[in-house]
Amino acid sequence: MKLKLARASVDTKPKAIEVDKIEEDLEKKSIFYFDKDNSHKELKAMMEHFETKDYSVYMREVKFGLNDNEYLYEVHIVK
């Protein structure tokens, strides 16, 4: 499953990441930021993937501007 990481700036395209790569990165960090272009269904599937492996997963929407479409997803994945 591929997800899009949050953009570094508004005019760039988001980079894709595999769930396996996220799992490898969990040794170094536990907070990930995902782009608004990800569907809620994809993010829920990713959350369920980690919950079946006994991780606790918390996701929230973070607004960074006044417009309704200026947001990203913050996901905490901890053992």
- Of the ranges 6-10, 21-25, 47-51, which one carries the lowest mean pLDDT score? 6-10
pLDDT of residue 9: 85
Instruction: Write out the residue range of the structural domain in which residue 66 sits.
Output: 2-78
Residue type, 5: L
Residues 6+ apart with CB under 8 A from 33: 5, 6, 62, 72, 73, 74, 75
Q: Is the pLDDT of residue 75 over 90?
A: yes
pLDDT at 56 over 90: yes
Average pLDDT value for the chain: 94
Q: Is 68 left (phi over 0), alpha (psi -120 to 50) or beta?
A: alpha
Q: Could you give the CA distance from residue 45 to residue 16 in angstroms, rounded to a whole number?
A: 16
**What would the mean pLDDT of 12-22 be, rounded to a whole number?**
94
Question: What is the distance between the alpha carbons of residues 56 and 62, in angstroms, rounded to a whole number?
Answer: 19
Total domains in the chain come to: 1
The pair of structure tokens assigned to 39 is 């569907």
